[in-house]
Structure 1
């Protein structure tokens, strides 16, 4: 979740995608285009071959900065590792911009072989008709999925079928200022675990210049705090047994989260730093807040940019429940439908290369994202880095301690961006003094309206 979400644009762009993708009477059909090759009776086009006689495929992605540099290195390594295929990695802008471009050619012979899509686009991609489920290639090749991280795979599985290959994966963690803990007479090696613990610790950490706790005004963190209590986001088993028809996040678990935040906000121990990742991270590094929630992919940056010792802990949970764990965030890689068989084979070979321990070890160290193959953590380069940054171990432990369930598998709805904006509005109103249950109910109602429109359009 390193990328900053531009919520307004997401709402417009993804809703447009949903409406466009569902104009056919068959909701799973791809947009009708001549020569698409998506019907069984159509003849697929021949694979694109470059001047070196290699099958050449496009890989659309949304990684920038160090992520793009690492990805380019991985692609170069694959291209040099064999003589049959060439992958061309092409940056397409943000996740939302990539999806918008995909809409016009998805499911046709002109589509990229591989597409990177953020996790909340999973339901849309499954329904789009643009893709071949990853399970098809896994079964044909006898690929052993047990070598990959179960709690990452689970998000992208529906009815036991894996639809896409996990790629850049992260979860939330709680970061805290160990120096501030010492100054407040608290044990810097013992982070608070429950909501009540955080409330009590935040009060002890609060000074004239520093808030005790903060959380980005962003729906992802709310979803995680609901899930770690075992709560669901929508009905129909979190949208995994059928199309969800209503939100349920305004039940007991969601209310626990809003009351937790509300209590600290009223006490003046909660710092509201808005919706900008950079702002809340800067507040932590400059000593304006002692504890906050961040992506596991942001841990290294927090450590390197803070003039104090940084602690990393599991996200907190409500006092009356056992911790269930976290939902994976980030993005995955999807295989195009309608392209030549040899291009699909090239894409599959690249994905297998991508999941090897050696490649995943480097990806983990370059970006801070999890290794989807846990054997990567046994590589010497990872062990050496973990000796330097033992905080990384905490992020992996939290993921691997997660209890597989419908709650921690994560919700599937095609209107997730709209729903997250509803949560943002609810949080903003909460911090202005509104009633927790009232604003949660309003967010659920707004989500229900978006779901109803999407379901009607799909029909």
Structure 2
């Protein structure tokens, strides 16, 4: 495990430096800028029958890719002007690396799917045309979309990309184990202290009470729901962040809560692999764990017991703030032909329709970016059968808007997340939680400092 973590840290460090290098090769002085005075290039690519043909680079695999391919095919059949070609590019990191070689030129894909922590980089890259330009030009009513999803991708009230596959974390738990432990199966623990107490009661034989994937995203969420910022400058939303802010009372509470359960033997450490922690839950090796809302369907399908879904826990001393959006959004390329941009915009609008979003939600478990999708009959029927799905949406819509839940903007997020992973692993091996978190903060500060110097 330690070798894997060190390799990942090296990989993400190299990736972050590569991204920073890319920033120096573009005009990052203007948001969404780059390639001054050269908004579009060349003529549009067309099919034999005259349709404008565009490429859509994505990182969806499995059921996500299957659903996406069907959606693209339906769009292509729905009109006669445009043809979208969906092309799988590997992981988010691999896709972004490929984009760097063609970004801002006529050879760039019209649409690229980029994970949420790539938002700051994409804005500064010079590769993109802000979606706000097309919203304003076409009087598109973005207010119809889910506001707590839009909030992440808005910077200075401008929407730079179109949200697509959006998710948040949830608490998933074994209702049968709750009953056996004398706990109410219809009421999951809500606060950190309640999680600690419940984990102790649920620990039985080889079953741990609680677990959390060793992944920075979950730390960010447990920080945000307390109202804690990840970096300064209001989470990088009112200026470029210059240092980490997570080495705070809120951040220490998260580490100390996990450390308390780990020392008590009620916390199960299943590492960094999503499949491993999900398999542990299905095989009754852990009774409660944090997962993505997109993982709910899989948990219900594979578990041989009744599955419960609840909001993520928060500190006893504060009010619940809510969750930060994860997943990815779709970015419009700058430098391609105007007709190709128009084709991309038509496809993006198609993706936001209630019917398409209902399909996407039911196929994948991701949120519908258009809440009207939840009024579709097929969604109502699914929710009636599996009310766990509705819990994920309720948590999102109950989120209190603010800088904490809007999410942080930093260009070196991958490296910072790896700092958190290393800190958690060190803590589970016996390192003082306060010292471990401090180390992650210092590592993040160094990465931010390099990024800001390079940008200048």
TM-score range, shorter chain: over 0.9
Aligned partners of 2:331, 2:324: CA distance in 1, in Å?
A: 20
Among candidates 120, 133, 138, match of residue 136 of structure 1: 133
Query: Which residue number corresponds to residue 399 of structure 1?
Result: 396
- 2:27–2:126 CA contact under 8 A, matched in 1: no
Deviation at 1:13, TM superposition (A): 2.3
Aligned partners of 2:259, 2:418: CA distance in 1, in Å?
A: 19
Deviation at 1:40, TM superposition (A): 2.1
Query: Which residue number corresponds to residue 440 of structure 1?
Result: 437
Query: Which residue number corresponds to residue 354 of structure 1?
Result: 351
Query: Which residue number corresponds to residue 14 of structure 2?
Result: 12
Query: Which residue number corresponds to residue 224 of structure 2?
Result: 227
The aligned runs of 1:144-223 (5 Å cut-off) are 144-223=141-220
Aligned partners of 1:18, 1:169: CA distance in 2, in Å?
A: 26
- 1:107–1:130 CA contact under 8 A, matched in 2: yes
Aligned partners of 1:197, 1:179: CA distance in 2, in Å?
A: 18
Aligned partners of 1:17, 1:424: CA distance in 2, in Å?
A: 21
Q: Are 1:54 and 2:56 matched, yes or no? A: no
Deviation at 1:237, TM superposition (A): 0.7
Deviates more, 1:16-25 or 1:148-157: 16-25
- 2:128–2:333 CA contact under 8 A, matched in 1: yes
Query: Which residue number corresponds to residue 374 of structure 2?
Result: 377
Report the CA distance shift for 1:186/1:25 in structure 2 as closer, same or farther (over 3 A). Answer: closer
Report the CA distance shift for 1:24/1:157 in structure 2 as closer, same or farther (over 3 A). Answer: closer
Aligned partners of 2:64, 2:31: CA distance in 1, in Å?
A: 33
Aligned partners of 2:405, 2:8: CA distance in 1, in Å?
A: 24
The aligned runs of 1:18-29 (5 Å cut-off) are 18-23=20-25, 27-28=29-30
RMSD: 1.6
Deviation at 1:7, TM superposition (A): 3.9
- 1:172–1:293 CA contact under 8 A, matched in 2: yes
Q: Are 1:109 and 2:109 matched, yes or no? A: no
Q: Secondary structure at the match of 2:102?
A: coil
Aligned partners of 1:382, 1:7: CA distance in 2, in Å?
A: 39
Q: Are 1:92 and 2:94 matched, yes or no? A: no
Report the CA distance shift for 1:50/1:264 in structure 2 as closer, same or farther (over 3 A). Answer: same
Query: Which residue number corresponds to residue 255 of structure 1?
Result: 252
Aligned partners of 2:36, 2:156: CA distance in 1, in Å?
A: 24
Report the CA distance shift for 1:180/1:401 in structure 2 as closer, same or farther (over 3 A). Answer: same
Deviation at 1:175, TM superposition (A): 0.4
Write out per-residue CA displacement over residues 377-426 of structure 1, whole angstroms, 9 at most, x where no aligned residue. 11011111112211000000000000010000000000000000000011
Report the CA distance shift for 1:42/1:284 in structure 2 as closer, same or farther (over 3 A). Answer: closer
Report the CA distance shift for 1:288/1:50 in structure 2 as closer, same or farther (over 3 A). Answer: same
Q: Secondary structure at the match of 1:90?
A: strand
Aligned partners of 1:41, 1:266: CA distance in 2, in Å?
A: 59
Q: Secondary structure at the match of 2:267?
A: coil
Q: Are 1:340 and 2:342 matched, yes or no? A: no
Report the CA distance shift for 1:285/1:341 in structure 2 as closer, same or farther (over 3 A). Answer: same
Deviation at 1:17, TM superposition (A): 2.1
Query: Which residue number corresponds to residue 35 of structure 1?
Result: none
Q: Secondary structure at the match of 1:186?
A: coil
Deviation at 1:39, TM superposition (A): 3.3
Q: Secondary structure at the match of 2:330?
A: strand
Q: Are 1:119 and 2:121 matched, yes or no? A: no
Q: Where does the alignment leave 5 or more consecutive residues of structure 1 unmatched?
A: 33-37
Among candidates 270, 279, 282, match of residue 285 of structure 1: 282
- 2:28–2:126 CA contact under 8 A, matched in 1: no
- 2:32–2:130 CA contact under 8 A, matched in 1: no
- 1:21–1:31 CA contact under 8 A, matched in 2: no
Report the CA distance shift for 1:189/1:115 in structure 2 as closer, same or farther (over 3 A). Answer: same
Deviation at 1:27, TM superposition (A): 4.5
Q: Are 1:44 and 2:41 matched, yes or no? A: yes
Deviation at 1:47, TM superposition (A): 1.1
Query: Which residue number corresponds to residue 417 of structure 2?
Result: 420
- 1:27–1:128 CA contact under 8 A, matched in 2: no
Aligned partners of 1:273, 1:49: CA distance in 2, in Å?
A: 50
Q: Where does the alignment leave 5 or more consecutive residues of structure 2 unmatched?
A: none
Aligned partners of 1:247, 1:41: CA distance in 2, in Å?
A: 36
Report the TM-score, using the length of structure 2 for normalisation.
0.96
Aligned partners of 1:317, 1:297: CA distance in 2, in Å?
A: 21
Deviation at 1:48, TM superposition (A): 1.1
Query: Which residue number corresponds to residue 240 of structure 1?
Result: 237
Among candidates 426, 429, 452, match of residue 426 of structure 2: 429
Report the CA distance shift for 1:457/1:360 in structure 2 as closer, same or farther (over 3 A). Answer: same
Write out per-residue CA displacement over residues 218-268 of structure 1, whole angstroms, 9 at most, x where no aligned residue. 000000000000000000110111110000101010001011101111111
